[in-house]
Amino acid sequence: MKVMIDICIVPLGVGVSVSEYVAACQKVFDEAGLSHQMHAYGTNVEGGWDEVMLAVKQCHEIVHEMGAPRITTSMRLGTRTDREQTMQDKVDSVQAKLS
Amino acid sequence: MKVMIDICIVPLGVGVSVSEYVAACQKVFDEAGLSHQMHAYGTNVEGGWDEVMLAVKQCHEIVHEMGAPRITTSMRLGTRTDREQTMQDKVDSVQAKLS
Amino acid sequence: MKVMIDICIVPLGVGVSVSEYVAACQKVFDEAGLSHQMHAYGTNVEGGWDEVMLAVKQCHEIVHEMGAPRITTSMRLGTRTDREQTMQDKVDSVQAKLS
Amino acid sequence: MKVMIDICIVPLGVGVSVSEYVAACQKVFDEAGLSHQMHAYGTNVEGGWDEVMLAVKQCHEIVHEMGAPRITTSMRLGTRTDREQTMQDKVDSVQAKLS
């Protein structure tokens, strides 16, 4: 089962700047070999369910190791059995309706 | 690593009534032996990270098997290393501030 | 247009304990006369769209006034035109499928 | 008060393809003159709180008018009082940590 997620990891107890934690998570997705795309309020990641979820777990582990005592993440998870659809397909599909 | 999640699973392509799908997921959490509490717009579940995430995967699998071709889930995930805190502890902590 | 929301307000830059901020938001919903129900990872609120959204804005304002320099909120918003459905109706609907 | 949101609007009861509804919402944000950026699992929008929230309401209204009897939206809302930060600033801040 493939999954596409949108994830926003929020460390608590480390002040207001969270960019270094977000950067660490980008590296996790990179090293996992997962297709991912950061935006201003989260990151899209796609791949096999188990691989993506393992990376999410590693993000929590690494952010705790970096010093955050508490993390609250918000995430969307999309799966479908009717057809394959990449992140780019989704954007293209809307763009086609706009033009 | 323990995790507390709040999950709202939304099947697409099966009409507007989603209660039977939500009920099926409650059974998944029951059978997994995970502490869980449904509310009007989602379900709180707590337990070990791997056990909780396996149950989330099983929810997606069972909702697809029930006929939903597409699922979009929204989820919050909380972890902390500073102390143990159950779902009831969180509610009690706020209630104490209100009284 | 009526709306039901599930809201989790997360203040950043104020340490790991957020219960006093959550409690302040409960008071906002109370004083707005909105039906609301807290759970372990958020609060359900229902009412007219404008009244509910005004309360959400007031929550952000009050949490900033209490000293949080940054807030990240995650929220679900449900509207429907086919029929009226309260928070309790939604829970009852799933419970009926479980029994 | 300025706000940055990430919004994913999900119409129910209209099948599995949601791109035309997403496209309609892009037009709402355009016509409102709000800075916005679509990604594969939502859209970032920034502006004054009231302007952004009015556009969100209009999205729900237009998606209902297009025929969706039920909508469930997931949204993140970020506000901060310490400094101004645009969507691009947020992405740049993480990129700087990665390079």
Is the Cβ pair A16, C74 closer than 8 Å?
Answer: no
Q: What is the pLDDT of residue B83?
A: 86
Q: What is the residue-averaged pLDDT of chain C?
A: 95
Q: How many of the other CB atoms lie within 10 Å of CB of C67?
A: 11
Under the banding of pLDDT at 50, 70 and 90, the label for residue C17 is confident
Percent residues over pLDDT 90 in chain C: 86
pLDDT at C83: 86
Q: Who among C10, C15, C70 is closest to A72 (CB)?
A: C10
DSSP tag of D18:
-
Q: What is the pLDDT of residue D83?
A: 86
What mean pLDDT is predicted for residues A76-81? 96
CA D62 – CA D23 distance, rounded (Å): 11
Mean pLDDT over residues C88-94, rounded?
91
Residues 6+ apart with CB under 8 A from C37: B39, B40, C43, C44, C87
Work out whether the CA dihedral A58, A60, A61, A67 comes out positive or negative.
positive
Among B50, B79, D37, D82, CA closest to A9: B79
Mutate to test the interface with D, among B8, B21, B72 (most CBs of D within 10 A): B72
Question: Which A residues in the span 31-70 are in contact with C, Cβ-Cβ below 8 Å?
Answer: 69-70
- For helices D87-98 and A19-31, the axis angle rounded to 10 degrees is 60
**Residues of chain D whose pLDDT is less than 70?**
none
Q: Could you give the C-alpha distances from D13 to B15, B18, B43, D42, D43, in angstroms and in order?
A: 4, 10, 22, 20, 22
Radius of gyration of chain A (CA): 15
Using CB atoms within 10 Å of the CB of residue B31, give its burial: 0 to 12 exposed, 13 to 18 middle, 19+ buried: exposed
Instruction: Choose the mutation target among A9, A41, A44, A85 for the interface with D, i.e. most D CBs under 10 Å.
Output: A41
Question: Between residues C75 and A96, which one has the greater pLDDT?
Answer: C75
pLDDT tens digits along A55-76: 999 999 999 999 999 999 999 9
C-alpha closest to that of A39 among A22, A60, A56: A22
Is residue C75 less than 8 Å (CB to CB) from chain B?
Answer: no
Report the pLDDT value the prediction gives residue D99, as an integer from 0 to 100: 78
- Measure CB to CB from residue D16 to each of B18, B70, B74 and give the nearest one: B70
Q: What is the pLDDT of residues C24-63, one digit of tens each?
A: 999 999 999 999 999 999 999 999 999 999 999 999 999 9
List the one residue out of A50, C45, D21 whose CA is nearest residue B58. A50
Q: Is A18 helix (H, G, I), strand (E, B) or coil?
A: coil
Q: Quick one: tokens of A60?
A: 């929590």
Least Cα separation, residue D50 to chain B (angstroms): 25
Q: How far apart are CA B29 and CA B48, in angstroms?
A: 13
Max intra-chain CA distance, chain D:
47
Name every chain A residue with its beta carbon within 8 A of the beta carbon of B66.
Answer: none
E strands in chain B: 2-12, 35-39, 42-48, 70-80
User: How far, in Å, CA of C45 to CA of C38, rounded?
Assistant: 9
Return d(Cα D87, Cα A40) in angstroms, integer.
5
Band of residue A15 on the pLDDT scale cut at 50, 70, 90: confident
pLDDT digits (tens, 9 = 90+) for A16-27: 889 999 999 999
Per-residue pLDDT of chain B (99 residues; tens, 9 = 90+): 999 999 999 999 998 889 999 999 999 999 999 999 999 999 999 999 999 999 999 999 999 999 999 999 999 999 999 888 899 999 999 999 987
Whether C29 contacts C55, CB under 8 Å = yes
Report angle CA A40, A45, A47 to the nearest 5 degrees.
170
Q: Do A12 and C16 touch (CB under 8 A)?
A: yes
Pair type for strands C42-48 and D2-12? unpaired
pLDDT at position A48 is 97
Write down the pLDDT at residue A45. 98
- Site from C16, C22, C41, C76 to mutate, A interface, most A CB atoms within 10 angstroms: C16
Q: How far apart are CA D97 and CA A49, in angstroms?
A: 28
